[in-house]
Amino acid sequence: MNDLAIPDFGREIAALLPFLIVAGGGLLVMVTDALVKTLRKDHLSYLVLLVLLSVIVVQTTSGTPEGPVLNGLLLLGNFSRFFTYLFVVIGVLTTIFATGIFDRDGNYRPEFYPLLLFAILGMMVLAAANDLLTVYLGLETMSLATYVLAGGVRGNAPSSEAGFKYLMLGGFSSAFFLMGVAFVYGACGGTGFDQIAAALHSGSAPMPFLTLGTGLMLVGFGFKVAMVPFHMWTPDVYDGAPAYVTGFMATAIKAAGFAILLRFVLLTEPMLAFAWYPVLTVLAVLTMSLGNIVALVQGNIKRMLAWSSIAHAGYLLLGIVAILAPALGGPEMMARAKGIVEEGGAALLFYLVGYALMNLAAFGIINVMGTEPGVDGDQISRYAGLSRRQPVAAATLAVAMLSLAGIPPMVGFMAKFYIFSVVVKAGLIPLAIIGVINSLISVYYYLRVIVVMYMHDTAEDSYQGTEWVSVAAAGLLAFLIIYLGVMPEAFHRGAEIVFRQISF
């Protein structure tokens, strides 16, 4: 009973400081909202930004300790830190976008702010998790907060529907996930990643339980990243949720999902690669093809981007398939394996960042295109002639679309380029071809938005002028999209270093 090692208090606190700041910040925002009666609408947003910036400052300046903490429940290091930065930056932008809308609409939702922080906390835990229990904890913290965020526009039926659907299906997937955890626990005799790894290496874990358990867990992750056939919620939820929340979900949740999926696959790879490889290959192809094909016929830009996000999940899965491929190949493959695994991981991280940039830029613009308070302007036809009414917003959205389509010199091209070149290097040329065909198809629907914006006659204006802070933030993202597309190398190198730490 007392085998619980008593940790070094100071080290633990120092290591957990970013987590504590976000958690405490969330509580603080909550209490401030409840107790202080004289708040102006934007005050809470400043508090949230302060919390998020202090996370960045703390993480950058203090050499937070690395390695396992909390008795191995969390594993801190470059990998978790990388994702913390990503989540925090996404959080900052989401706060800016949301605040702009609250200012304009009068549809003020103060509970948005603490929920956003709690969702980020869950994601941080997920990216740092080193135990199935912390995985679950992170997953649920993140999910519960986003269920409410998605359904949070009171009195708006689509939003409530989105929240409800997400909650129901999310609960569904959680159940499968927990079931999987139980099986894996039974098979390996522990929930810690180290214990699981040990059990897998010794070969003592019984195979049927293991495949079943890990398979069910994969279902849970697949749900979060919108992998076919667990993607059905995505269009409805992305469409119904307000645009600033959709942007957050499309980028942060996807990144968190892939962070843990990546760790999970690398953890179980030694014994289970043979099972994952065919399954994930098929699912990757299905995911990107279905996403792109259905996206073609959407007239609603948020639904289109929802399907596009499914398609992008498919490209990302290709990267994971490439990482798995060497474990199955012959000795010649094994010699190159380490290189491919590292490059694949780095390509994935790069893709996630690029994807976050372009999707946030897109949703940042969609966010300010409302038709009336609380309703997003989501029909593509509303963007007709935007280039003349709001040139900066139109240019930003155009850059985001070109990048999503994977046209150089945007970051989307480089991201796909890295992924596909790893896939080719792993000898999976047919998969790369399917990927390229898919990105070819995708050009149609992304280009459509640009055509409408630049080459159609002006539609009626959105009901109020430009929210210049939001547009400026999105414009900054557009700049980054191009910058990273032209100068990706330094960043990609960094991603490789980050990844190396978890690839053991």
Partner 1 sequence: MFERFIPVLLVLGVAGAFSGVFLAISFLLGPRRPDALKDSTYECGIPARGSIQIRFFVRFFLVALFFLLFDLEAVFLYPWVVLYKGLLASGAGGFALTEMGVFLLVLLTGFLYVWKKGGLEWQ
Partner 2 sequence: MQSEILLRWIVLVPLLGAVVNGLLNRRLAKRVSGFIACAAIGVSFGLSVVVFLRLTGMDAEARVVNDILGTWLQIGGFHVDIGFAMDPLSAVMALVVTGVGFLIHIYSLGYMAHDDGFQRYFAYLNLFVFAMMTLVLGENLVMLFVGWEGVGLCSYLLIGFWFNDQANASAGKKAFIVNRIGDFGFLIGLFLIGANLLPHLAPGEGVFSFAILQHHAHLLAPAATGICLLLFLGATGKSAQIPLYIWLPDAMAGPTPVSALIHAATMVTAGVYMIARLNFLFVLSPTAMAVVAAVGAVTAIFAATIALTQNDIKKVLAYSTVSQLGYMMLACGVGAFTVGIFHLMTHAFFKALLFLGSGSVIHAMSNEQDMRVMGGLRSKLPVTYATFMTATLAIAGVFPLAGFFSKDEILWKAWESGNTVLWAIGFLAAGLTAFYMMRLVVLTFFGENRASSEVRSHIHESPATMTGPLVILAVLSVVGGWIGWPHFMGGGAWFENWLAPVFAVGEHGVAAHGAVAHHAADSTMEWTLAVVSVLWAVLGLILGWFVYYRRAAIADSFRKAGGGFVYRVLLNKYYVDEAYDAAFIRPGYRFSRQVLWKSVDAGLIDGLLVNGSALVVYLLGSVLRLFQNGMIRFYAWTFTIGVAVFVLYLSFSS
Show contacts with partner 2 in window 326-365 (CB under 8 A). Answer: 339, 342-343, 346-347
Residue for token pair 């050009």 = 443
- Specify the 3-state DSSP secondary structure of 75: strand
Judged by CB under 8 A, does residue 436 bind partner 2?
Answer: yes
Q: What are phi and psi of 207, to 5 degrees?
A: -60, -50
Measured from the Cβ of residue 335, the count of other Cβ atoms closer than 10 Å reads 11
Cis peptide before 409 (omega within 30 of 0): yes
Least distance in Å: CB of 8 to partner 2? 39
6 binds, among partner 1, partner 2, none (CB under 5 to 8 A by kind): partner 1
Angle value at C-alpha 499, between 193 and 183, nearest 5 degrees: 25
Which two three-digit tokens encode residue 201?
């290496």
Q: How far is the CB of 253 from partner 1 (least distance, A)?
A: 24
* Residue of 448, 462, 491, 498 that binds partner 2 (CB under 8 A): 448
Residues 284-313 that bind partner 2 (CB under 8 A): 290, 293-299
Residue 35 site contact among partner 1, partner 2, none (CB < 5 to 8 Å, cut-off depends on kind): partner 1
Q: What residues numbered 76-95 form the site for partner 2, per CB under 8 A?
A: none
Q: Which of 49, 178, 232, 502 binds partner 2 (CB under 8 A)?
A: 232
| Contact call for residue 114 and partner 2 (CB under 8 A) | no
User: Number of residues in contact with partner 2, rule: CB under 8 A?
Assistant: 73
Residue 359 identity: N
What is the Cα Rg of the chain in Å? 22
Question: What is the amino acid identity at position 316?
Answer: L
User: Which of partner 2, partner 1, none binds 299 (CB below 5-8 Å, type-dependent)?
Assistant: partner 2
Question: 12 or 103: whose CB is closer to partner 1?
Answer: 12
Stretch 13-52: interaction string toward partner 2, x if CB under 8 A: ----------------------------------------
The residue among 446, 420, 444, 445 whose CA lies nearest residue 434 is: 420
- Smallest gap, in angstroms, from Cβ of residue 110 to partner 1? 9
Q: CA 411 to CA 353: how far, in whole Å?
A: 9
Q: Which of residues 200-229 bind partner 2 (CB under 8 A)?
A: 207-208, 210-212, 215-216, 218-219, 223, 229
Residue 49 interacting entry, from partner 1, partner 2, none, C-beta within 5 to 8 Å by type: none
Rounded to an integer, what distance in angstroms lies between the CA atom of residue 240 and that of residue 159?
Answer: 5
3-state secondary structure of 67: strand
CB 256 within 8 A of CB 123: yes
Q: Compute the distance between CA of residue 355 and CA of residue 6 in angstroms, rounded to an integer.
A: 42
CB of 408 to partner 1, least distance (A): 49
Q: How far is the CB of 413 from partner 2 (least distance, A)?
A: 8
Binding site for partner 1 (CB under 8 A): 1-2, 4, 6, 9, 27, 30-31, 33-35, 206
Residue carrying structure tokens 């993202």: 477
d(CA 173, CA 168): 9
- Tell me: does residue 279 bind partner 2 (CB under 8 A): yes
- Cβ closest to partner 2, residue 101 vs residue 422: 422
